[in-house]
Amino acid sequence: MRVVLQHVTHARVSVNDQPIAEIGRGLVILLGIGHADGEEQARVLAEKIARLRIFKDKQGKTNLSILDVGGSAIVVSQFTLYADTRKGRRPSFTDAALPEVAAPLVEKFAAFLAAQGVPTQTGEFGAHMLVEIDNDGPLTIWLER
């Protein structure tokens, strides 16, 4: 699994000009699923993200987790995180899991994150989405499990 975390002050996901997810302070989690990924990777990654200390405390140090600040999350499936650009000029996505494998794992990951106490919404798997991100910092972190 590959994740790009973006610390946000506001985010919204729309499909066909209709908002389907919206949060204030929290995280947008762009999630890519690979062939070898399963429920255990999803669970471990959700637990790590819920407790990752990337929010500032009163002294301005990144000492607080999303749980500590009462933040929310939006999980957006992002198979393009598995883009292979080593050859040619057109990315290959053969390392990304097929939709029938990836879709349930994205939902599992979101459920695991919610079970940690993080209010969690999702994008729409396979849809063309408009993802609006007000990145705070900017703070963007790459995780791989």
Q: What is the set of active-site residues?
A: 78-80
Contact yes or no for 76/109 (Cβ under 8 A): no
Tokens of 57: 């405390």
For 125, half-sphere exposure in the C-beta direction (CA atoms, 13 angstrom radius) is 16
Cis peptide, bond prior to residue 138, ω within 30 of zero = yes
Helix (H) or strand (E) holding 26: strand 26-32
Tokens of 119: 């209010």
Compute CA distances 9 → 72, 126, 132, whole Å. Answer: 10, 26, 11
Pairing of strands 18-23, 62-64: unpaired
